[in-house]
Amino acid sequence: MRHLSLWITLSCVGCTSANSLPMGTVDASQPADLAITSEQACAEAAAAYCAAFARCIPIYITAYFADLASCVSRVTLGCRPAFGLKGTSSTPAIYSACAQALPGATCDDLLAGKTPAACPPLPGMLGDGTGCGDDAQCQSSFCARPLGQSCGACGPSPGAGAACDKIACGRGLGCVNKVCVARATAGMPCDDGHPCIASLSCQGAGQGKMGTCAIQVRAGAACDPKTQTTAGCEELSAYYCHPLTRICTPASFAGPGEPCGFVGNGYAGCRASGHCRVPKGAVSGTCIRTAADGAACDDTLGPTCLGPARCAGGVCKIDDPASCM
């Protein structure tokens, strides 16, 4: 099964004020009867984002978090540092507004990186070249962080055609062959360098010929593993085209210590960001449980980390953008 990329940006909730708010305080920019604490805002935002994942990318909840409750808990951890940063425009009120707007967004828009108007960050107070850890700190609304790093510098958002081998692309763009590209929508031409949004499949591309972004094949239907005569299967719902039966077949998800990879006549991934440790030359292995925050990790051999923690210096760490100043 091909790697599934997530095109919803978790940190794109916006803001209206340059005031920083410690956790537990009330957003005084709102009328008293509408005031919301930072804890409430983070809880609302996390619930809204996880509901969007469950609606638009069902596989994400199982594969990365195991269940919806775990998703909400972990996304909340990533939200908490947002309100205490130098120069930030983030406020709890706008996090809450974004949370309320997300259910009305279509999955195709979200998968193409088009979030509701209430969600992208407004300009912060820090000029280009100033150290940052979050987009909302920057006048450009973009903190250019080197890949794999938590800190960067404010600067212009990389547009379509920009290199992305060192800096991530701007919102709504994906990095393909180290170049920022916009994802194609239904009916548009596509190939390896011009991919479709994640809910569609590129059918008919190859040998120098462009294909067309098409609706993915439903579960149990006939499919073509090479996506020439049919589109691909519904990957976001964990289906793949079985190479022998040529039928869209559901992948399964294994827990720690259970077999993963190509097992029997099917494919099994590891749930909750577990790592499938496969011996050299084999096609199946064993799921390794994710490491706890602060514990040792290894992105190649496992164990890996559970987001928003990442493996940095061999330890699972949750980035603190306040440390970037």
Q: Are residues 118 and 145 in the same domain?
A: no
Query: How much is the pLDDT for 265?
Result: 87
pLDDT of residue 111: 85
pLDDT band for position 108 (cuts 50, 70, 90): confident
DSSP 65: I
Task: Report the pLDDT averaged over residues 196-205.
Answer: 94
Is 303 part of a structural domain of the chain?
Answer: no
Residue 197 lies in a domain: yes
Token reading at 38: 């930072």
Residues 107 and 194 in one domain: no
**DSSP secondary structure string, 148-191?**
T-S-EEE-PPP-TT-B-SSBPPPTTEEEETTEEEEPB-TT-EEB
What lies within 8 Å, CB to CB, of 16 at 6+ separation is 29, 89, 91, 93, 94, 122
**Does residue 132 form part of some domain?**
yes
Same domain, 9 and 34: yes
Q: Over the stretch 133-179, which tens digit does the pLDDT of each residue have?
A: 999 999 999 999 998 888 999 999 999 999 999 999 988 888 999 99
Residue type at position 20: S
Domain match, 5 and 116 both? yes
Q: Which pTM was predicted? A: 0.82
Residues 131 and 229 in one domain: no
256-304 pLDDT, tens digit per residue, is 999 999 998 899 999 999 999 999 999 999 999 999 999 999 999 999 9
Instruction: With respect to residue 198, please indicate whether it lies within any of the assigned structural domains.
Output: yes
Domain that holds residue 224: 184-250
pLDDT of residue 34: 52
* Lowest mean pLDDT segment, chosen from 7-16, 62-71, 198-207: 7-16
Q: Is residue 314 part of a domain?
A: no
Q: Across residues 213-240, what is the average pLDDT?
A: 95
129 contacts 155 by C-beta, under 8 angstroms: yes
Strands in 131-132's sheet, in edge-to-edge order, are 131-132, 152-154, 143-144
Q: Does residue 311 form part of some domain?
A: no
- Region 107-124: what's the mean pLDDT? 89
The predicted pLDDT at position 16 comes to 28
Contact assessment for residue 134 and residue 11, using Cβ atoms and an 8 Å cutoff: yes
* Of the candidates 143, 151, 197, 155, the residue with the CA atom closest to the CA atom of residue 174: 197
Residues in CB range of 71: below 8 A, 6 or more apart: 46, 50, 53, 54, 61, 64, 65
> Tokens standing for 253?
């998800």
Category of 263 on φ-ψ map: left (φ > 0), alpha (ψ -120 to 50) or beta: beta
Cis check for the bond before 303: say yes or no (omega within 30 of 0): yes
> Does the structure show a pLDDT above 50 at 230?
yes
User: Is 81 in the same domain as 147?
Assistant: no
pLDDT tens digits along 286-299? 999 999 999 999 99
Residue 315 lies in a domain: no
State which of 183, 215, 231 marks the end of a domain. 183
Residue 313: left if φ>0, alpha if ψ -120 to 50, beta else—which one?
A: left
Number of domains in the chain: 3
